[in-house]
Amino acid sequence: MQIQRCKGCRDLTREEMLRFRSVETAFQDVSRCYGYYEVRTPTLEYLHLFTSAGTLTPGMLRRVYSFLDWDGWSGERVVLKPDATIPVVRLYTETMGSEASTARFSYVTNSFIFEETGIKPRERWQCGAELIGPGSALADAELVSFACDAVKKMGLNRLELKLSHAGLIRGILSSLGLSHAEQNDIFDRILDGNMTALDSLEAEKPQAVEALKLLLGTKGTSSGFLKNMRALFAAGIPEIQSSLEEFIATIDVVEAMGLNYEIDFTSGKGFEYYTGFIFRLFAEGVNVGGGGRYDRLVGMMSGKDVPAGGFALYIDRLAALINIDGLYIGVSQRVSMDIEPAVMKDATEAADLLRRAGCVVTFAAPGQPDEECGWKVTVRSGVPRFNVFNCGKRETSECESAIEAFATIGCG
Amino acid sequence: MTFRIALPKGRLLPQIAPLLEKAGWGLDDYNEKTRVYRLKSSTMSGLAAKMFQEKDIPIQVAVGNYDIGICGLDWFSEQMVKFPSSSIVKLRELGFGEGSVYAATTPGSFTGGTLSARGEVVRIAGEYPNLAEALALRLRLRRFAVYPLWGSAEAYPPENAEIVLLSRKDPKEIESLGLQLLGKIVESRACLIVNKESLRSKDLSPLLASLNSVIGDAASIEFFTSSLPGSITQVQADLPPADLSVVRLALPDGHQQTHVRRILDAAGINIDDYPSSTGNRRPNISLDGFFIKVIRPQDMPLQISNGNFDLAITGRDWLIDHHHQFPQSPVGELLDLKYGKVRIVAVVANEVPVNTSEELQKFRKKAESPCRIAAEYVNIADNYARVNQLGACRIIPTWGATEAFIPEDADVLIENTETGSTLVKNNLKIIETLFESTACVIGNTRLRENRIQGERISAFVARLKQTMETMP
């Protein structure tokens, strides 16, 4: 019977790992510059961390990997982490002490969600950041700028931002008299192209439905769009007043930072735990990440109102986009050594020198073909001690010492 | 071409049998009095049917052991709600099999979208653990625990669960149990299910056409009906503190009752209405400071470990199965009652050329497909597969009549046997005796916080022990 990997799970091959590490390193470099500290939360969490209203949608919860732990006789389940942000917020509330303080956390993590076909991955990797404490337009802009810089550091250009605001959408839907659950449901249906969801509501609240259709049907390119909306609807729909002001302030800061953006309310799908500003980031036309403001999450866990926002970048998608040509160590820097055990000391000395200079050195197993290499070195107890063969030029050099062999190869 | 059909025993059989007869399937032995599991058709040469417990059928059809099955919508939904990509499709409802699965709670505990609970966790008990979990998510309960049960769910509220899932004919039956209806989960009408792969690739038309001609139209499935509240907010009930000195004793229902009664009688412990002809689940006992409930013995170890009960009488087999699932569980054996002796054994078909588990391990190394192990004791079976390094395995949970699973539907059984004669009759052989099981008193073995309760438990166990020593 052939042993196979689990359906919906994937291996990362050596090339994919090079890509993965490249994305991760770029993210962490930028993360340090922005003052974010890396944290790591466990793979297993209690299910109830994710079940409270306003965290994950019931649709998501039905697809989590939940089970009883070995000491789960109480009947409460644990899950393979289905989301990265909620555990980081839990970590914050556990360590925050009596006073809320500002925390800048970054992470690289996997998360698990069942996907029926097994074609899309059930295990996903992402790197992200959470800014807990500040709740201003500046905080939103810091997160957007961090996400964009990280993606640029990966060598990707053609960045586009699509910006939305969950509070604004929720304000209009709540003015229609919809409950929290109905708001989520109807908004997701509208975004799936089902505008008939609004028909039954239009007769009762024509102005709110009109505002919603206009917001969803228009892509704004400056805060002027929002100011127009304010002029048209703020008086009739007071529920959206504060969200509009907040969104305009954030847009003004983002614009001043010189970032390219589009106001697109259809980019708010799955907005259950978001409360304010939402963004999606595209690179080379691919959606590579997103985030937003979730001001109620800390309060739901700790009882203390602390604003917070964050974003995640999708490593799997970014890794597929980046160029890794420069990361390969070329054949000319690969050395294979065939060593007689009696002269292991000399061989090790030469290998150390070469590796420190950036070469890849492998010890050849007798009779086994080695990877393609630029140099083959034979180390013997006689004279000369080192026989250095340049595979490209097909030339042999005889060297008496490790230093001489090192100098011949050069690893330049 | 062979058609493999899975048919239920029990509640649906009296209505399915005449339907199949009308459809001309010729399954003459499919009746309530039958003593065989495997049914042959007198009219269709390729038709082979087998009888199962109703809840086994969706699993058997999903794993591809059978092309077609008939079961209640409740068991189909229990499978699909947790495993939506199961390889089964519901084809038709058959228009009979009255009843539904209802969610119910203690009267007065649910008002206006809020549910009173004793602690932070809402406890949901029932024979449908997957529907229970889906219900908790649908109701957006923040913290919940699901107690999967073998039966007797109605006995749990209010002390041992806030919500129970019960299959009953109508809401009146729920109310007659002294419970408040929370809503309907799913109907339990009979339905025809088919394996997806069989539907895609096999010509089942002779069977489907013959059935279609005799069944009428039926309504489509309605799952989590609108009668259920959209969400529930949990509030902690303002209840008087429980008397911690009271010992909560669980006694078994079913065939063990006469044995337990005999021992209690011999110990001079008087107990009213046990066994009960009216289904009373709270009989009175003559001992001061004891409260009794009658529940399924299979459910007792979990109910002790989660703190719902302090003492119980069950089989060691169920205690060991529980410990294989939860190795650090605080529940342990306090006294061997020495009746109901059975051996828990690993079993294969006589034709399999192995006589020990070690030989089975070597034999399975050459196998091309995963080893299918059927058992009521799923955790013992899972442990057996791991300890014996059987490689790729499928544990198939069963609810009785496991001996009929080999050879078509399983390769190995983990089964209990008293004399071994049923196994021999079914052409099976034992390759390992895992352990011997008798009835025993079980309890929480960790330190007790209440001194009086601890003394009551010790005195009860000592009294039964003394009785056992003098009993013939």
Indicate left, alpha or beta for B391 from its phi (over 0: left) and psi (-120 to 50: alpha). Answer: left
pLDDT given for residue B94 in this prediction: 87
State how beta strands B88-93 and B190-195 pair.
antiparallel
Q: Where are the domains of chain B?
A: 3-97+188-212, 100-187+227-236, 247-340+439-470, 342-437
Q: Could you give the percent of chain A with pLDDT greater than 90?
A: 53
- Is there a contact between B231 and A116 if contact means CB atoms under 8 Å apart? no
State how beta strands A360-363 and A334-339 pair.
parallel
- The tokens describing A330, both together, are 């070329």
Same domain flag for A304 and A184:
yes
- Is there a contact between A70 and B137 if contact means CB atoms under 8 Å apart? no
- The tokens describing A258, both together, are 């010189």
In terms of residue numbers, what domain contains A138?
A: 14-321
pLDDT given for residue A332 in this prediction: 86
pLDDT given for residue A229 in this prediction: 83
Q: Could you give the percent of chain A with pLDDT greater than 70?
A: 93
Inter-CA distances, A249 with A78, A139, A165, A244, A277, Å: 41, 11, 12, 9, 10
pLDDT given for residue B225 in this prediction: 61
Domain C-terminal end among A273, A301, A321: A321
d(CA B163, CA B156): 9
* A1 assigned to some structural domain: no
Other CB atoms within 10 A of residue A289 CB: 24
Same domain flag for A140 and A264:
yes
Cis peptide bond N-terminal to A366, omega within 30: no
Best mutation target, B122, B140, B146, B324, to test chain A (most A CBs within 10 A) = B140
Superfamily of domain B100-187+227-236: Periplasmic binding protein-like II (3.40.190.10)
Mean pLDDT, rounded, of chain B: 91
CATH number at residue A289: 3.30.930.10
CA distance B73 to chain A (A): 20
Contact A26, A137 (CB under 8 A): no
Same domain flag for A348 and A217:
no
Find the closest chain A residue to B331 by CA distance: A73
pLDDT tier, B210 (very low <50, low <70, confident <90, very high otherwise):
confident
pLDDT tier, A194 (very low <50, low <70, confident <90, very high otherwise):
low
For residue B116, pLDDT over 90 is answered with no
CA distance A59 to chain B (A): 9
For residue A55, pLDDT over 80 is answered with no
d(CA A34, CA A22): 19
Inter-CA distances, B252 with B156, B303, B336, Å: 14, 13, 15
Same domain flag for A38 and A153:
yes
* Residues of A whose CB is below 8 A from B133: 66, 77
B114-120: average pLDDT: 84
Find the closest chain B residue to A61 by CA distance: B137
Contact A290, A311 (CB under 8 A): yes
pLDDT given for residue B355 in this prediction: 96
- The tokens describing B137, both together, are 């998510």
Same domain flag for A276 and A342:
no
* Residues of B whose CB is below 8 A from A76: 121, 143-145
Same fold, B100-187+227-236 and B342-437: yes
Same domain flag for A360 and A313:
no
- Is there a contact between A1 and B391 if contact means CB atoms under 8 Å apart? yes
- Is there a contact between A181 and B133 if contact means CB atoms under 8 Å apart? no
Same domain flag for A145 and A237:
yes
Q: How many domains is chain A partitioned into structurally?
A: 2
pLDDT given for residue B345 in this prediction: 97
For residue B49, pLDDT over 90 is answered with yes
- Tell which wins on pLDDT, B331 or B45: B331
pTM metric for this prediction: 0.84
Same domain flag for A233 and A372:
no
pLDDT given for residue A369 in this prediction: 67
d(CA A108, CA A27): 9
CA distance A17 to chain B (A): 29
For residue A223, pLDDT over 90 is answered with no
Lowest-pLDDT choice from A24-33, A175-184, A346-355, B251-260: A175-184
- Is there a contact between A74 and B85 if contact means CB atoms under 8 Å apart? no
d(CA B164, CA B167): 10
- Tell which wins on pLDDT, A102 or A269: A102
- Is there a contact between A74 and B133 if contact means CB atoms under 8 Å apart? no
- Is there a contact between A74 and B138 if contact means CB atoms under 8 Å apart? no
pLDDT tier, B285 (very low <50, low <70, confident <90, very high otherwise):
very high
> Class of the B3-97+188-212 domain?
alpha beta
- Is there a contact between A116 and B85 if contact means CB atoms under 8 Å apart? yes
Domain C-terminal end among A293, A321, A349: A321
Same domain flag for A342 and A269:
no
Cα torsion A123, A128, A134, A135 to 10°: value is -60
State how beta strands B114-117 and B110-111 pair.
antiparallel
Nearest to A151 by CA among A40, A259, A274, A12: A259
d(CA A339, CA A318): 42
- Is there a contact between A76 and B144 if contact means CB atoms under 8 Å apart? yes
* A403 assigned to some structural domain: yes
- Is there a contact between B145 and A75 if contact means CB atoms under 8 Å apart? yes
* Residues of A whose CB is below 8 A from B140: 51-53, 58, 181
Walk across the sheet containing B38-40 and list its strands: B38-40, B47-52, B3-8, B68-72, B190-195, B88-93
B404-418: average pLDDT: 94
A55-76: average pLDDT: 85
pLDDT given for residue A326 in this prediction: 79
- Is there a contact between A58 and B138 if contact means CB atoms under 8 Å apart? yes
pLDDT, tens digit, 9 for 90 and up, residues A182-192: 777 777 776 66
Contact B241, B449 (CB under 8 A): no
Same domain flag for A105 and A198:
yes
Same domain flag for A304 and A357:
no
pLDDT tier, A195 (very low <50, low <70, confident <90, very high otherwise):
low
- Is there a contact between B230 and A62 if contact means CB atoms under 8 Å apart? no
Q: What is the 3-state secondary structure (H, E, C) of chain A?
A: CCCCCCCCCCCCCHHHHHHHHHHHHHHHHHHHHCCCEECCCCCEEECHHHHCCCCCCHHHHCCCCEECCCCCCCCCCEEECCCCHHHHHHHHHHHCCCCCCCEEEEEEEEEECCCCCCCCCCEEEEEEEEEECCCCHHHHHHHHHHHHHHHHHCCCCCEEEEEEEHHHHHHHHHHCCCCHHHHHHHHHHHHCCCHHHHHHHHCCCHHHHHHHHHHHHCCECCHHHHHHHHHHHCCCCHHHHHHHHHHHHHHHHHHHCCCCEEECHHHHCCCCCCCCEEEEEEECCEEEEEEEECCCHHHHHHCCCCCEEEEEEEHHHHHHHCCCHHHCCCHHHEEEEEECHHHHHHHHHHHHHHHHCCCEEEECCCCCCCCCCCEEEEECCCCCCEEEEECCCCEEEEECCHHHHHHHHCCC
Other CB atoms within 10 A of residue B36 CB: 11
Which candidate from B133, B230, B326 shows the least CB-CB separation from A71?
B326
pLDDT, tens digit, 9 for 90 and up, residues B336-373: 999 999 999 999 999 999 999 999 999 998 888 889 99
Find the closest chain A residue to B129 by CA distance: A75
Contact A405, A386 (CB under 8 A): yes
CA distance B384 to chain A (A): 17
CA distance A305 to chain B (A): 19
d(CA B232, CA B18): 44
- Is there a contact between B144 and A48 if contact means CB atoms under 8 Å apart? yes
Which candidate from A1, A51, A73 shows the least CB-CB separation from B137?
A51
State how beta strands A386-390 and A375-379 pair.
antiparallel
pLDDT, tens digit, 9 for 90 and up, residues A253-287: 988 988 889 998 877 665 577 889 999 999 999 99
- Tell which wins on pLDDT, B94 or B7: B7
B176-204: average pLDDT: 91
- Is there a contact between A181 and B392 if contact means CB atoms under 8 Å apart? no
**Among the ranges A125-139, A316-330, B27-41, which has the highest mean pLDDT value?**
A125-139
- Is there a contact between A77 and B147 if contact means CB atoms under 8 Å apart? no
d(CA A289, CA B156): 48
Q: What is the DSSP letter of B250?
A: E
CA distance A70 to chain B (A): 5
* Residues of B whose CB is below 8 A from A58: 137-138, 140
B342-437 to CATH, choices 3.40.50.300, 2.40.160.20, 3.90.940.20, 3.40.190.10: 3.40.190.10
**Among the ranges B160-174, B194-208, B392-406, which has the highest mean pLDDT value?**
B160-174
State how beta strands B371-375 and B393-397 pair.
parallel
For residue A54, pLDDT over 70 is answered with no
Q: Which residues contact B188 (CB under 8 A, 6 or more apart)?
A: B72, B73, B74, B97, B99, B100, B101, B167
* A9 assigned to some structural domain: no
For residue B219, pLDDT over 60 is answered with no
* A8 assigned to some structural domain: no
- Is there a contact between A181 and B140 if contact means CB atoms under 8 Å apart? yes
- The tokens describing A369, both together, are 């073909």
Domain C-terminal end among A262, A290, A321: A321
Lowest-pLDDT choice from A208-212, A265-269, B374-378, B388-392: A265-269
Residue pairs between chains A and B whose CB atoms are closer than 8 Å: 69
pLDDT tier, A412 (very low <50, low <70, confident <90, very high otherwise):
low
B416-435: average pLDDT: 94
- Tell which wins on pLDDT, A209 or B359: B359
Which candidate from A61, A74, A117 shows the least CB-CB separation from B137?
A61
For residue B222, pLDDT over 60 is answered with no
- Is there a contact between A73 and B123 if contact means CB atoms under 8 Å apart? no
Find the closest chain A residue to B327 by CA distance: A70
Find the closest chain A residue to B308 by CA distance: A74
Q: Which residues contact B402 (CB under 8 A, 6 or more apart)?
A: B374, B375, B376, B410, B413, B415
pLDDT tier, A53 (very low <50, low <70, confident <90, very high otherwise):
low
For residue B414, give the H/E element and its range. Answer: strand B412-417
Which candidate from A66, A73, A116 shows the least CB-CB separation from B326?
A73
Same domain flag for A162 and A40:
yes
d(CA B46, CA B77): 30
Find the closest chain A residue to B302 by CA distance: A73
pLDDT given for residue B421 in this prediction: 92
B30-39: average pLDDT: 88
CA distance A182 to chain B (A): 10
Q: What share of chain B is helix, strand, coil (3-state, %, to 5)?
A: 30, 30, 40
* Statement: B247-340+439-470 belongs to CATH 3.40.50.970: no
* A6 assigned to some structural domain: no
Mean pLDDT, rounded, of chain A: 88
* A148 assigned to some structural domain: yes
CA distance B14 to chain A (A): 36
Best mutation target, A45, A73, A183, to test chain B (most B CBs within 10 A) = A73
pLDDT tier, B220 (very low <50, low <70, confident <90, very high otherwise):
low
For residue B98, pLDDT over 90 is answered with no
For residue A92, pLDDT over 90 is answered with yes
Nearest to A22 by CA among A250, A346, A325, A383: A325
- Is there a contact between B145 and A74 if contact means CB atoms under 8 Å apart? yes
- Is there a contact between A1 and B369 if contact means CB atoms under 8 Å apart? yes
pLDDT tier, A118 (very low <50, low <70, confident <90, very high otherwise):
confident
Q: What is the DSSP letter of B23?
A: T
